[in-house]
């Protein structure tokens, strides 16, 4: 067609005009509602080069979304890529509900950390772009976790990756590392959009693109860079999510409320401990434990030089501490026996938001009254096992002798080669005089010898 190009330009212009008119209608409608319907609703206006953007404030101090809205600080802008992403994210209310449901476990903590560092609260929404708030998410390039660290970048920021745990998936460690990285990038490039682009593309690649623009006499800004589609879209997605969170009603969707209070407590453990045992003592499912502690790859949490951190629902952390203290008693604390804000006596602190609980596990002197058994030798909690009857478990050090093999040692003590390797950092080669940790059924008993079942 002779005028095909001109018609396309005209259609794009008309779409932009209609979108701007829609924004104005939303703005004036919400302003009218604020003055005529509900005194507790206010309308905030963000100005940008592309027009006005209004967002609704409920002034509810218990609403985490409202707290996030009040901390928005990135410059507002509008373009067709942002609009495409707005449409994509709001196409399904079910998708929005799924993201919200996953985020409720972690979002309060992330908001606290972002605020503490004085960063724009849009940054707290970045895990929606990176992983849809799935801490076990893994990309095609092998990036992992809420913040999608690659293996090399993760190691550079102290995120350990071994057969026991992958700290790229650790909620606390990965959040600290991601915010450290973003602050570093912001300090280097002086702009949050450039920092976000570098987070996705790499600081070296972004630095070279900025140098190329300067050599050509072009502005060294996000909007003037020639970026990969994925990188530019990465920033556009975050702006789109910001717009949606700012005013969900304008997009025809609803954000389920998230309480503006901590979801979990942090407990340091300095001894090996079995995940099934932690879940039992905290009166939670293993599935719930894994939601809060997705970094652990084995059934056992192995502690080496420094303590490992466990996240437990705030209402369950007190139960865990009470039960680990009473582990050698005849009964366990049930889920409704104590409140979340209970004052714990005898070495146990009051649980408060933002306080890390450091707790040394006690020595077990009698059999526990449930089907997970363990004993603690020299204040080290050993591996627990699921058993039909109560048995005692014993740890000792075996000195390797001439001619010993793993299979012979395993057969002698009724254990497996796999277990020996698990307890001894996967060592396969033996040397005379080498010390092996072995965990076996004890010939003696702890406490009464009467068998019990639950």
Q: Tell me which residues are annotated as active site.
A: 130
CB 171 within 8 A of CB 135: yes
Radius of gyration of the chain (CA): 28
Q: How many CA atoms lie within 13 A of 2 on its CB side?
A: 0
Q: What are phi and psi of 235, to 5 degrees?
A: -75, -40
Q: How many CA atoms lie within 13 A of 228 on its CB side?
A: 11
CB 55 within 8 A of CB 44: yes
The per-type count for the chain, helices as H runs and strands as E runs, is 16, 13
In which element (H, E) is residue 439 found? strand 435-441
Spatial CA neighbour of 232 closest among 129, 156, 363: 129
Distance between CA atoms of residues 346 and 359, nearest Å: 11
CB 256 within 8 A of CB 97: yes
Distance between CA atoms of residues 33 and 42, nearest Å: 9
Distance between CA atoms of residues 72 and 7, nearest Å: 38
- SS3 state at 225: coil
Q: Cite the DSSP H helix spans in 301-380.
A: 314-325
Phi/psi-derived region of residue 265, left when phi > 0, alpha when psi is between -120 and 50, beta in every other case: beta
Distance between CA atoms of residues 141 and 50, nearest Å: 35
Place of tokens 């407990």: 267
CB 251 within 8 A of CB 289: no
Q: What are phi and psi of 156, to 5 degrees?
A: -65, -25
Place of tokens 């209608």: 25
Give bridge partners of residue 45 from the DSSP assignment.
54
Distance between CA atoms of residues 195 and 74, nearest Å: 12
Tokens of residue 215, six digits: 């050599």
């Amino acid at each position: 067609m002779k005028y095909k190009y001109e018609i396309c330009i005209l259609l794009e212009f008309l779409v932009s005009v209609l979108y701007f008119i829609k924004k104005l209608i939303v703005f004036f409608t919400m302003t009218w509602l604020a003055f005529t319907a509900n005194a507790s609703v206010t309308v905030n206006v963000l100005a940008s080069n592309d027009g006005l953007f209004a967002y609704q404030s409920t002034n509810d101090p218990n609403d985490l979304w409202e707290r996030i809205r009040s901390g928005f600080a990135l410059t507002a802008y509008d373009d067709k890529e942002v609009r495409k992403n707005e449409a994509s994210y709001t196409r399904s209310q079910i998708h929005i509900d799924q993201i919200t449901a996953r985020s409720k476990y972690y979002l309060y903590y992330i908001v606290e950390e972002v605020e503490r560092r004085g960063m724009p609260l849009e940054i707290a929404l970045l895990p929606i772009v990176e992983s849809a708030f799935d801490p076990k998410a893994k990309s095609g390039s092998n990036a992992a976790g809420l913040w999608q660290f690659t293996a090399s970048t993760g190691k550079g920021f102290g995120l350990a990756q071994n057969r026991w745990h992958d700290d790229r998936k650790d909620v606390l460690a990965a959040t600290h590392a991601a915010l450290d990285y973003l602050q570093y990038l912001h300090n280097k490039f002086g702009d949050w959009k450039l920092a976000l682009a570098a987070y996705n593309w790499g600081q070296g690649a972004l630095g070279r693109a900025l140098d190329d623009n300067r050599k050509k006499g072009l502005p060294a800004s996000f909007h003037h860079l020639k970026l990969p589609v994925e990188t530019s879209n990465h920033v556009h997605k975050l702006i789109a999510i910001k717009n949606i969170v700012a005013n969900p009603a304008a997009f025809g969707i609803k954000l389920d409320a998230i309480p503006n209070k901590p979801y979990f407590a942090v407990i340091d453990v300095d001894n090996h401990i079995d995940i099934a045992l932690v879940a039992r003592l905290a009166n939670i499912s293993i599935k719930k434990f894994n939601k809060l502690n997705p970094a652990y790859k084995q059934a056992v949490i192995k502690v080496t030089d420094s303590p490992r951190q466990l996240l437990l629902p705030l209402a369950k952390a007190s139960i865990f501490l009470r039960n680990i203290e009473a582990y050698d008693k005849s009964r366990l604390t049930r889920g409704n026996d104590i409140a979340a804000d209970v004052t714990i006596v005898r070495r146990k602190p009051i649980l408060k938001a933002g306080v890390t609980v450091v707790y040394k596990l006690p020595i077990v002197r009698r059999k526990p009254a449930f089907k997970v058994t363990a004993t603690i030798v020299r204040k080290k909690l050993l591996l627990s096992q699921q058993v039909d009857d109560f048995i005692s478990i014993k740890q000792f050090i075996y000195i390797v002798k001439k001619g010993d093999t793993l299979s012979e040692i395993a057969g002698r003590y009724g254990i497996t080669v796999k277990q020996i390797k698990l307890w001894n950092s996967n060592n396969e080669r033996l040397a005379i005089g080498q010390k092996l940790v072995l965990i076996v059924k004890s010939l003696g008993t702890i406490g009464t010898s009467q068998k019990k079942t639950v």
